[in-house]
Structure 1
């Protein structure tokens, strides 16, 4: 295989198989504790004995390669730049560790910083950089060693919206030219849908779903992904029902008339959502339904936490599809 094949097992934390072709950007999504960072650390060799990893037809685990010998670029949460080194020296560090001459390593570092729009900051230390600038340096450091696998662990976390948007655009350009396999851990649907060519959904340490971003977003099989892409996804026997919050109507009494799905419940949460208000309704049996309403409608219905009401959606607004078998229970240690 020209890309990445990994069978990973970390007792109590992860039991998953990952396949990706050269040129793929695999967006890894799932709730907190699903095993996303553990997956990246296993591929990087930071969790010895955590399974089998093969890249471009070469095994990284038989015999096991040390992290420094794996052709990996790793952008961790919080940048983790060396505070006593300049941006230039931070980016050159990996090259120098692999034996590159100092002059060659610095020239390559300056070229990568320039590509990411921070070449003029090459002489600054991390403490003199903004969050967005520091993250650009971290990405430049990961790319400078020409890795076969690029690991990105929530690269936009903690950045202002505008800074994150600009960096997302820049990163997309670099990923389009990247000759290896990239894995992007994210909690943001925009990242997954715009940067990813494939998606891998983890839940309880196991793969719950995989496919293209369009496939996963259209038919999500976990609550986390449904919320991520802004859909209601409810189980109905052996099938799942997906529908948009904008298709849900709220009313103080049970709706009548055309064929509708109905849920009786109480308002659990109200949050701003663009020009509307997103209402989360909790039914007595624990089902949560999202509805988007205008401010005027919210005022007319006197919406507030714990207000009793009905939620309804027309059958024509619902997409039904088979429910995939649930992942075998949570990963158990031992």
Structure 2
């Protein structure tokens, strides 16, 4: 299925996804991720095509979408059961049929015993399970999830991510999930779509996007340095970087120079952020950081062997 969205001056994107695929949408703040989802749902004006159908002038209730918002947006006066049953009832199901369907979805998420609680009586994780169940209960063609794990405890995020992944494997439509978390992209996505300044910068399988990022945001997300070099990009890990106070020698080394912006523990290493045009990350041992007397503001040289970097074309790829 092809999805096309065009909001002049804000978002222009199109993607192909097969039935059952999960497309994770990533990009920096202001890239247009939430706007993309809202346009598909009819909450933002713009040209929208889904498959062979033009949704541009289609009223919101007639769009076959399920939407999971960051803040759940459950109806506060309705029980969990009635929240999930709301969509099926709005689409013409009889009350008893809609409630049976809703209870089935609550059972799938392991919260059937909470069916008669109001949203204020639910924990964050419980409320988000209700919100996801409500979106799926409408049998949508497109499922939209806008940072569904935001604000939840880490343990709750892990459990909910596993549950959602299980349900998405059985979902016959396509799912678009907006996130800032690389874990979501690597564990839930069949395909990753990278938005940058409202346009598609890269589309591809998670492993491909992680190995060859084409925007600084994605590089940071997967823990890589990214440097533009003519028509190519160079990617390399922070532990492939050597830090020195004097300019390194040897023609086989790539090198950069700049002041330390920050340094902080990172696992067993000390991670530096250096303003080196572009900003670069470097990992070194605590002993080496102490020996070099590294502090914020100190000028350092960074270098990497040419054999330690990955070089690839800078053009956007995939669809």
- What TM-score range do you get, normalising by the shorter chain? over 0.9
Answering whether residue 137 of structure 2 is matched by residue 144 of structure 1, we say: yes
Rounded to whole Å, the distance in 2 between the matches of 1:142 and 1:274 is 39
Question: 2:36: which partner in 1?
Answer: 39
Rounded to whole Å, the distance in 2 between the matches of 1:146 and 1:275 is 48
**1:269 and 1:279 in contact (8 A); partners too:** yes
Q: Alpha-carbon deviation of 1:102?
A: 1.3
Question: 1:121: which partner in 2?
Answer: 114
RMSD, matched Cα:
1.6
Alignment of 1:126-205 (within 5 A): 126-205=119-198
Rounded to whole Å, the distance in 2 between the matches of 1:98 and 1:150 is 16
Question: 1:51: which partner in 2?
Answer: 47
Q: Alpha-carbon deviation of 1:302?
A: 2.3
**1:258 and 1:314 in contact (8 A); partners too:** no
Aligned to 1:194, the other structure's residue is in SS state helix
Q: Deviations over 1:72-128 (max 9, x none)?
A: 110011111111111111111111111211111111111111111212211111111
**1:91 and 1:140 in contact (8 A); partners too:** yes
Answering whether residue 306 of structure 2 is matched by residue 315 of structure 1, we say: yes
Aligned to 1:104, the other structure's residue is in SS state helix
Gaps of 5+ in 2: none
Rounded to whole Å, the distance in 1 between the matches of 2:5 and 2:266 is 38
Rounded to whole Å, the distance in 2 between the matches of 1:124 and 1:307 is 57
Number of corresponding residues: 317
Question: 2:209: which partner in 1?
Answer: 216
Rounded to whole Å, the distance in 1 between the matches of 2:123 and 2:286 is 37
Answering whether residue 22 of structure 2 is matched by residue 25 of structure 1, we say: yes
**1:156 and 1:164 in contact (8 A); partners too:** yes
Question: 1:298: which partner in 2?
Answer: 289
Rounded to whole Å, the distance in 2 between the matches of 1:297 and 1:121 is 55
Scaled by the length of structure 1, what TM-score is found? 0.91
